[in-house]
Structure 1
């Protein structure tokens, strides 16, 4: 037994009250003078007191009543510990494929059900399923939510450290940009797809490609044989810097991926895109070398700010160490963690200008080391109406899967399956019942004693 407010036990000092009342409950006698003895000499006065306790039972009951009141003030409780080492878990499976999954993994699912596992739909709401759903003939609706979103949502419903068996494929297109972190014990059982080869037609920058996909990779092959005009790119950097080598490597990757010919610093003709990698102002002759409706990407000069932040590019984060103070009026393309502009865009009648408030330099940021660098430059180099998905589309028929050696899901706070629950059970009702019984007994005994005294 423990007390919520132990300081209340100091009130036990009140036990002295009934004891003092019992010991000093002595009535003073009255002296009555009688006339026949008035002439006799008055003897010396003498008095006596007895501190004898006459009724021990009443004293004990009253003391117990005070003790119970003190305990109630201290709010006693009993700490109860419940441990469960065989807690049932969840089975997650998409309802639309549950019949085929049950047919293939019947022994595993039956074994889990005998252990008390519940089957839930791996979709919004996570509704509970039964074996009757294996015979369902409902129209199949494709689940378009990513596994990342669903596993994150399950964190709100599945108790921590609970064992969860998930029956789902390992296709990359079902995940978001980040792998989820879960607080339950996830056992992923991959299901085999009937078709592991697929193809589709897609269009990039006005050019049609045939995509062919299998579990290991996806390839694109151009269909139209007409030669496209090359992309002329001019690059000018400040003396003593080597930022251009990172940019050129990314441009070559874009050329290899898209099949578009890219000419860097052409000897003749105007540039479609120009990169000015210098703190100095862009000279007029460099701007005049850009074709009409072309693009200018330029470094901005200003107050240097050291920061421990990141660049936000299409929802992905890249470490940022330095930046240039930037205005907030322009259209922001890339930002830092605080919403400050890192790349802005403005369009005029003859020029599409990008203003970069950092550098293509590892001392400024880690963009040049990240595979995101190529994707980030893609909409600038290959001008497309829908640039953010260009060359990196998420197609439903994409068959690529995780490698068996690749870490998939991060588990947090999953120390073990044993769940220990500590509950504080209040003992106040028992003390109130005991106090009522003792008070009733004390009143009955006290009333009887007064009645006997009157009779005598």
Structure 2
């Protein structure tokens, strides 16, 4: 049904007050009196008083006409629009498939439901840049769908950004997203998404277990670091096995399709994952501490020695002076001093090493704790922070550890092929309880495992190593369900109504009524003039 809509323009509604003007004019606009010959003026005052007491509306048709003109002008100021509802039409839904759900081990379980949706008008597209459609031919060829999966070693796509793009690209259409829940795909806070987007997470066989590092213990022995991620956090286990003499398959629980590739260096390749080189050299760590940081050096050395069994290759720790030769190309350099870092140490960081420093600032007194969800077990003792460098964080540094109130504790800055770490507190009991807890070895082990000097995409390495799963409640999603939980067809949806601006017609009607009013008023004046002349 068509409807007349009025905007909320205040000027239009205030203009309705002008309706009182023609009424007032008619009440006070009296006819010119006739000249009456009387013998005494005493009758004139009585007649005038009687006339004032008998005020009444005259020329009612002219009054209504003028009131209509004022009402039309007010209506035009209010911005009237003629609304006509278009007939409802079915809206085609969209199923957006993330690349990881096209895995050969995942897709067969989804096909019956997706085929049912396709028969009912749903369209399949990739949940990837440009949202390319998946044709019927490609859908029937699993080999073609396998080509749509991302290549190994690439940066993880930002699914929050992709969901907002999908909402803007397909306005008014119901969207159903099928993806995994790996944390690297969900960067930052969850944005506000329209209610027409329904998210479902699909369990992936290769999303929680991966090969993190590989090292050579001896000429005939390998040690593998295998990571496993869940919603609660990431854990690692060490696997020791004999080194193959030639290229071939390796049998490791949880790592199907693992192959050993002989070479210099040798590599381990898992299907769909980046190749992991077999490290033959020990992990070299050099440490320097002056007198003021001697206590921190003792805690740090003890923590490093504690993490040695959890590394894929042997750990070598050496204490060095600032002027010592770095020809051994150490992987980690720990500088515990308020003095500037030597140029040779900075150069080694730019060449692929990792430099660790403690703050040289005095530090401000605080009373907070480290927030390290996912890095420490739930039963771990809390880590108190008593003194902290609270200066402004440069924009080129990334927060690795932070307090529960959001204050950065450990910062990372890229330096050429390597990195620099700045601890904004000190490994001393007067500054933090970190060195007196088991958290320090755990956190150092996580850093030593994450960084890799020969990773081709060094900046992306921490994101690739992070395989934790996002909680479905944070994602606003629900686990994958069969067809009974999905809509069978697109809903009938009313399209936006057709709105026509009718102000021009209202103004034209007001002009016509004004012309009619002028004609009647002229006729009334002419009649009154003739009556007076008589």
TM superposition shift of 1:67: 2.9
* Change over 3 Å in CA distance of 1:123–1:302 after alignment to 2: closer
SS at 1:120 equivalent: strand
Matches within 5 A, 1:322-333: 322-323=388-389
Equivalent of 1:4 in 1, 8, 12: 8
Tell me the distance in 1 between the aligned counterparts of 2:460 and 2:14: 77
Contact 1:180 1:409 (C-alpha < 8 Å) held by counterparts: no
Aligned residue number for residue 150 of structure 2: 143
Alignment partner of 1:253 is 2:307: yes
Aligned residue number for residue 68 of structure 1: 72
Aligned residue number for residue 43 of structure 1: 39
Aligned length: 403
Equivalent of 1:410 in 470, 474, 490: 474
Aligned residue number for residue 268 of structure 2: 211
Contact 1:258 1:391 (C-alpha < 8 Å) held by counterparts: no
For normalisation by structure 1, the TM-score amounts to 0.57
SS at 1:43 equivalent: coil
TM superposition shift of 1:410: 3.2
Aligned residue number for residue 360 of structure 2: 301
SS at 1:14 equivalent: helix
TM superposition shift of 1:126: 1.0
Tell me the distance in 1 between the aligned counterparts of 2:95 and 2:530: 81
Tell me the distance in 1 between the aligned counterparts of 2:119 and 2:364: 62
Aligned residue number for residue 290 of structure 1: none
SS at 1:262 equivalent: strand
Aligned residue number for residue 39 of structure 1: none
Equivalent of 1:187 in 186, 191, 200: 200
Larger-Rg structure: 1
Tell me the distance in 2 between the aligned counterparts of 1:235 and 1:57: 104
Aligned residue number for residue 14 of structure 1: 18
- CA deviations 1:357-402 (Å, max 9, x no partner) are 543469569896696643545699x8x455984996888xx9x977
Equivalent of 1:197 in 256, 277, 292: 256
TM superposition shift of 1:186: 0.6
Matches within 5 A, 1:233-382: 233=286, 241=295, 244-245=298-299, 248-250=302-304, 252-253=306-307, 256-263=310-317, 275=334, 277=336, 299-305=358-364, 322-323=388-389, 358-360=425-427, 373-374=444-445, 376-377=447-448
Tell me the distance in 1 between the aligned counterparts of 2:420 and 2:134: 56
- CA deviations 1:7-38 (Å, max 9, x no partner) are 76454443343234334242355699xxxxxx
SS at 2:303 equivalent: helix
Tell me the distance in 2 between the aligned counterparts of 1:390 and 1:12: 67
TM superposition shift of 1:440: 5.6
- CA deviations 1:214-271 (Å, max 9, x no partner) are 99x99979586xxx578475575758946744553345435642322435669xx999
* Change over 3 Å in CA distance of 1:388–1:96 after alignment to 2: closer
| C-alpha RMSD of matched pairs (Å) | 6.7
- CA deviations 1:257-307 (Å, max 9, x no partner) are 2322435669xx99977746466x69xxxx9xxxxx999865453342568
Contact 1:77 1:428 (C-alpha < 8 Å) held by counterparts: yes
Equivalent of 2:126 in 121, 142, 145: 121
Tell me the distance in 1 between the aligned counterparts of 2:476 and 2:163: 14
Equivalent of 2:139 in 112, 134, 138: 134
SS at 2:258 equivalent: strand
Aligned residue number for residue 90 of structure 1: 94
- CA deviations 1:153-178 (Å, max 9, x no partner) are 222332699864445567x6x94584
Matches within 5 A, 1:107-118: 107-113=112-118, 117-118=122-123
* Change over 3 Å in CA distance of 1:199–1:191 after alignment to 2: closer
- CA deviations 1:116-168 (Å, max 9, x no partner) are 54322222111344535536897946534655424522223326998644455
* Change over 3 Å in CA distance of 1:310–1:426 after alignment to 2: farther
> Structure 2 regions of 5+ residues with no counterpart?
207-253, 346-350, 376-383, 401-405, 479-486
